[in-house]
Amino acid sequence: MVHEPAVPFLEIEAVRAKEFVPAAKEALTALLAEQGHQKVVQPVFNWAGRNSLFPLHWGLACCAIEFAAAFGARWDAERFGVVPRSSPRQCDLMIVNGTVTWKVAHKLVTLYEQMPEPKWVIAMGNCATGGGPFRTAYSVVPGVDKLVPVDVYIAGCPPRPEAMLDGILVLEKLIRERKE
Ligand code: SF4
């Protein structure tokens, strides 16, 4: 036997559309008028952004193994809302996880440019930070900051998954304090 709900669903929806939505709109409009758009909307935007970072799903060199491990069951980076996506158009975070060669540099910049704003970059490991053990090689970019702006640097060769998670938490703190 199917039990009818005490208040039919459509009725609840009608009350919501009639009373709750206009009241909420009115309250928000008043709040915006009183405090200004930046003060009200920006913290909400920052909160949503820092709790749902979507890093680009890619790998450059050995640091990428640690990057991959961070999303496994043991470290479970997704509990921080960090979910790798395979299209740069759906990403707001580029974790540069390995040696950057001049050969791959233009591809890296293209991927970065395809990511929508606001976007962030983490240089993971010594190679991405400054070329690492290959710094003097003719083929290696001595730091990914020569190509794209870097927000957080993570030291190590390779940094462990915990270090990558720590870098993400540092980035979240930066986003929390972001003004625009
Ligand atoms: S920092 Fe070390 S582990 Fe990471 S890509 Fe460079 S050589 Fe490999």
* pLDDT tens per residue across span 18-54: 777 888 888 777 777 777 666 667 788 888 888 999 9
Q: Yes or no: say if 124 and 96 are a contact pair by the CB < 8 Å rule.
A: yes
* pLDDT tens per residue across span 62-94: 999 999 999 999 999 999 999 999 999 999 999
Among 58, 60, 63, 140, which is best to mutate for testing ligand 1, by the most ligand atoms less than 8 A from CB? 63
| Structure-block tokens of residue 142 | 């001595």
Angle at 89 between CA 102 and CA 113, to 5 degrees: 40
Average model confidence (pLDDT) across the chain: 89
pLDDT given at position 22: 84
| Structure-block tokens of residue 49 | 């952004």
pLDDT given at position 18: 75
How many angstroms separate the alpha carbon of residue 69 from the centre of ligand 1?
A: 15
CA–CA separation, 172 and 124 (whole Å): 16
pLDDT confidence tier of residue 139, bands split at 50, 70 and 90: very high
Lowest mean pLDDT, pick from 2-11, 15-24, 101-110: 2-11
What distance lies between CA 54 and its chain's CA centroid?
A: 4
Q: How far is CA 126 from CA 66, 122, 161, in A?
A: 13, 12, 14
pLDDT given at position 180: 63
Write down the residue that tokens 């709109």 correspond to. Answer: 25
Q: Yes or no: say if 122 and 151 are a contact pair by the CB < 8 Å rule.
A: yes
Burial string for 2-31 (b: 16+ CB within 10 Å, else e) reads eeeeeeeeeeeeeeeeeeeeeeeeeeeeee
pLDDT given at position 27: 79
| Structure-block tokens of residue 87 | 């299209």
What kind and span of H or E run contains 93? strand 93-96
How many angstroms separate the alpha carbon of residue 139 from the centre of ligand 1?
A: 15
pLDDT confidence tier of residue 126, bands split at 50, 70 and 90: very high
Which residue lies with its CA nearest to atom 8 of ligand 1? 62
CA–CA separation, 27 and 103 (whole Å): 55
Question: Does pLDDT of 6 surpass 70?
Answer: no
pTM: 0.80
